[in-house]
Amino acid sequence: MKNQLKTATAIGSMFIAASCAFAAASEPASSGSSGGVVGKVEHAVVKGAKAAASGVERGAKAAAHGVETGANATKRVGRRVASKVTGKPASSPESTSK
């Protein structure tokens, strides 16, 4: 839950930063300011947004892997408990396929 909150906060701040950068880019440049700075800020925001999206995707994959590992472990423990309760080994899909 903490990771989801951190991710949501990071994405929200990225959108705020992007909207501020694009608003600054649409305003006319004042005399003495460099137009290259706005371009660099836009580039940084776009690059940061891509990095955030990649991080969210990697996090989702990691969470899915964790859930799958936990489900397999729970299944193994369930078979062990069932074999102790019934007194005979429970058939597992791994042992029947060999």
The domain limits of the chain are 2-25+36-85
Cα–Cα distance for residue pair 10/5, rounded to 1 Å: 9
Which residue has tokens 């839950």? 1
Give Cβ neighbours of residue 89 (< 8 Å, ≥ 6 apart).
83
The 10s digit of each residue's pLDDT in 1-43 is 567 667 767 777 666 766 665 655 555 555 455 568 888 998 9
Q: Which two tokens stand for residue 84?
A: 């102790």
pTM of the predicted model as reported, rounded to 2 decimal places: 0.45
Indicate the residue type of 86: T
Q: Mind listing the pLDDT tens digit for each residue in 32-59?
A: 555 688 889 989 999 999 999 999 999 9
